[in-house]
Amino acid sequence: MECYSGHTYAQRPRAFTWRGQRYQVEAVERTWRTPQGLHFRVRTDKLRAELVYDETQHRWSLFSVSELA
C-alpha cells in the first residue's frame, strides 16, 4: 500500500498491490469512516476497489475488488 500522508497518515491511497500486481489509483471516488476505520472507494485503469485503513491496528486491507468493464 502506498498512500499520501500530509498532516495525518493515510489521507489518500496512491497505489496498492493485489495478486502480485501493482495498481496505481487514478481516482478516489468516495471516502468514509466506520468503526472498522477509514474506507476509500478507488478506481484504477482496470479495477474498482474498496480499501480500508484500520487506525487502531495501523493496517490496510482490501475489502472488495471488481473489474471495470
Instruction: Name the grid cell of 25.
Output: 489509483
Given this model, what pLDDT does residue 11 score?
A: 87
* Sheet of 37-43, strand order: 27-34, 37-43, 47-54, 59-67
Owning domain of residue 51: 2-67
In the chain, the number of structural domains is 1
Confidence class of residue 7 from pLDDT cuts 50, 70 and 90?
confident
**Phi-psi bin for 37: left (phi > 0), alpha (psi -120 to 50), beta?**
left
| Each residue's pLDDT tens digit, 12-58 | 999 999 999 999 999 999 999 999 899 999 999 999 999 999 989 99
Q: Any idea what the Cα angle at residue 12 is, between residues 62 and 28, rounded to 5°?
A: 75
Mean pLDDT for the chain overall = 93
Q: What is the pTM of this model?
A: 0.90
Q: How far is CA 47 from the centre of its chain?
A: 12
Instruction: Name the grid cell of 18.
Output: 493485489
